Amino acid sequence: MLMQIAAPALETRTVSILGAACGRGARDERCQHGPRALRQGGLIARLRYQGIDACWRGTLPAPSSETGIPALQAVSGLCKRLAARIDDLVAEGDYFAVLGGDHACAAGTWSGAARGLSGRGPLGLIWVDAHMDAHVPETSPSGTLHGMPVACLLGHGEEALTSIAGRGPALRPEHICLIGVRSFEDGEAAFLGRLGVRVIFMEEIVRRGLDAVMDEALGIAVTGTAGFGVSIDLDALDPIEAPGVGSPVAQGLSADALISALEGPQRRSGFIGIEIAEFNPALDGGGVTARLIGDLLVASVPARPTP
């Protein structure tokens, strides 16, 4: 009798995409139009053409300043709705991508991810950004909420944003690593230093290379955690390559280097999702940044064996 040899399972690449149409955390509210511009610009068709089964699961809006609703109320409301959606996706085992909108949405994205992992273990996070985003209201010169999500995820700041994860903070200091920082204030640097958060400045990336830095960040994000994600602020990239951002900082990461470095997380088990924030289509001459977002998504979506 001939033995039947099972064929190897084919690999699929799937992603559930959520838009976070929030501009209230930033000075320039036009980033709220980022998700709509990406969807109308054919992002889903492009991803499917490149072999990714992408599904747009909706866009969550935040009230604009014209409504008179305070910024904290608008942002926290969006973050709570976003957290509930991400909680469900993570609990179901779906790989997700959140597209912003300003980076204040991260308080919702990663609080929801932490809730989805609850019962299995803590969340790990790689934060790619030109800024630390670790202000609390007392240290912030501008008071803008997109400068505060790291602090909020660590349990410090406005209660409306720190409480979204439920019991305790969404993140522990030993499970997050910041990459690409080159613009920050003393108050937030001192805050992260007290907590012992690893911050890898741009100078160190120039010296060591982004692949080596990403390997270190991965070690931090996966050690003692049940799953991890990557949050990318587009201003981490050099503004020559990513002009469509509201807070550009010169001498940033190269697009090719970041795309290559995302192969590291993509190949690791436990990678649950990615967030790409601060896309402002009004500043994106020629659609350069929109195309780059597609490239980042293609590089980040992991292959998974079919059942």
Q: Could you read off the pLDDT tens digit of each residue along the chain, which spans 307 residues?
A: 333 434 344 568 899 999 999 999 999 999 999 999 999 999 999 999 999 999 999 999 999 999 999 999 999 999 999 999 999 999 999 999 999 999 999 999 999 999 999 989 999 999 999 999 999 999 999 999 999 999 999 999 999 999 999 989 999 999 999 999 999 999 999 999 999 999 999 999 999 999 999 999 999 999 999 999 999 999 999 999 999 999 999 999 999 999 999 999 999 999 999 999 999 999 999 999 999 999 999 999 998 765 5
Residue 7 in any domain: the answer is no
Give the total number of structural domains in the chain.
1
Please give the model's pTM, rounded to 2 decimal places: 0.95
Residue with tokens 């976070």: 20
Q: Which pLDDT score, from 0 to 100, does residue 306 have?
A: 53
Residue 209 in any domain: the answer is yes
Residue 218 in any domain: the answer is yes
Q: Which pLDDT score, from 0 to 100, does residue 3 have?
A: 35
Cα 191–chain centre separation: 21
Q: Which pLDDT score, from 0 to 100, does residue 98 have?
A: 98
Residue 185 in any domain: the answer is yes
Residue 102 in any domain: the answer is yes
> Which residue range is the domain that position 17 belongs to?
13-305
Q: Which pLDDT score, from 0 to 100, does residue 134 have?
A: 98
Q: Which pLDDT score, from 0 to 100, does residue 304 have?
A: 73
What does the block give as tokens for 143? 């008071």
- With beta carbons less than 8 A apart as the criterion, state whether 140 and 61 touch: no
3-class SS at 183? strand
* DSSP letter assigned to residue 137: T
Write the CATH number for 165.
3.40.800.10
Residue 300 in any domain: the answer is yes
Q: 226-255: buried (b, 16+ CB within 10 Å) or exposed (e) per residue?
A: bbbbbbbbbbbbbbebbbbbbbbbeebbeb
d(CA 37, CA 18): 13
71-92 helix and 106-117 helix, angle to the nearest 10 degrees: 30
- With beta carbons less than 8 A apart as the criterion, state whether 58 and 67 touch: no
Residue 2 in any domain: the answer is no
Residues 6+ apart with CB under 8 A from 290: 37, 38, 41, 43, 244, 279, 281, 284
Q: Which pLDDT score, from 0 to 100, does residue 305 have?
A: 61
Q: Which pLDDT score, from 0 to 100, does residue 12 have?
A: 83
Residue 5 in any domain: the answer is no
Report the catalytic residues: 103, 129, 131, 133, 146, 233, 235, 278
